[in-house]
Structure 1
């Protein structure tokens, strides 16, 4: 895989790396009435932390999708160790190997921004049931920034573009979603505990020093641009 940042997450085995972390994941899931008949897709499942939580707590049909073999290897190990019957699929969200209207809930935690947004949203719409819901957590541009700064961010994360909240909303509408509810989630530091912290499951790889350095650079960028970059929850229905 060419994206160095995503490679660093995979080989360091970082779980819950998306904005808001696992605290936000649990918050989103708490807003839905999830019965054991529901079919849920975790897009960009990573090491499987979210998919495992859903399967254990809601006993529903869970599918975990990721494009990175190293992430999937760690996800499969997690599911096996916890005896969870989760369907694991390797594939790109730009061309998902699923039938039309297959899922009731699709959860995408900081994935779409790394892809061709138009292709990805078209696929997510195609596989979502007519009465289903798409939850997306995505990076947003909070304020105007010098192009040089934006280029540095895009180059580091390997993303083609960074959207404002309004541009994201328009992208979802262009894809055919008719209801887009947007929430700016405020992280409550008082509720933070070890469960909310990112997990690490290290691989045996010759480039580990480079991956550690990238994680450090990510922290520096996050602090440097904390007033210009944020994130939103997008709840989209057809």
Structure 2
């Protein structure tokens, strides 16, 4: 695992901000519900698992989630899931180990080459006809409009790769205006410093494809 393959993530250095994000983003649990219905039983890999928040909720008696995360500060060993250290570009498992693999808000890279390498690795470790799922910002919503930089996924890229997609309509829902300002200003700077509400429209894209061995 090369240091250059690891994308800096704020959660390890600012756990208080990550706690707000995990609690307030998709508070209704629509993304978790969609993943739970979609993912098969068996062995499933969570790529870029963060602190294991999603993996823990998707684990069941019939589904074993293995969480892979490059940042040791993010790994929460108190969660009852299997942990592995690694990156999307270099997944430390054999060919066709998993029945499915998914990534939630983690499958982003500095360039197309890294994106292709990460996707190739996911395809390598998932069995033929197993499921590949990428969850990301869809855009065209209140949340993404707060950013001065593009933070929505490139839908055309995934469609051209053979992925279908669905849009999940959810929200960021905060306990107070002060909490909303704290997190969103951390994300977006002065553009979010004067917000005065607690609920923000948020659209999530879920890209889905059956794995094919070429």
TM over 0.5: yes
Indicate the residue corresponding to 2:66 in structure 1: 63
Paired residue for 1:16, among 16, 22, 29?
22
Check if 1:218 corresponds to 2:213. Answer: no
Aligned residue for 2:205? 232
Higher fraction of strand: 2
How far 1:62 sits from its partner (Å)?
2.1
Q: Report if the CA contact (8 A) 2:165-2:206 is conserved.
A: yes
The two structures have a TM-score, normalised by structure 2, of: 0.68
**Higher helix fraction (1 or 2):** 1
Q: Residues 63-142 of structure 1: matches in 2 within 5 Å?
A: 63-72=66-75, 74=76, 76-79=77-80, 86-114=81-109, 116-140=114-138, 142=140
Unpaired segments ≥5 residues, structure 2? 1-5, 142-146, 176-180
Name stretches of at least 5 consecutive residues in structure 1 with no aligned partner.
80-85, 155-161, 199-211
Task: Tell me how far apart the structure 2 counterparts of residues 30 and 49 of structure 1 sit (CA, whole Å).
Answer: 17
Q: Deviations over 1:184-233 (max 9, x none)?
A: 111289xx8xxxx89xxxxxxxxxxxxx9666332666899x89x95310
**In the alignment, what sits opposite 2:156?**
166
| 1:3 counterpart SS class | coil
Aligned partner of 2:52 in structure 1 is 48
Q: TM-score normalised to the size of structure 1?
A: 0.62
Distance (Å, rounded) in 2 between the aligned partners of 1:222 and 1:44: 27
Shift of the alpha carbon at 1:8? 4.5
2:36 corresponds to = 29
Bigger RCO (CA 8 Å, 6+ sep): 1
Change (3 A) 1:39 1:30: same
Q: Is the 8 A contact 1:10 1:70 kept in 2?
A: no
Q: How many residues matched? A: 186
SS in 1 for 2:33: helix
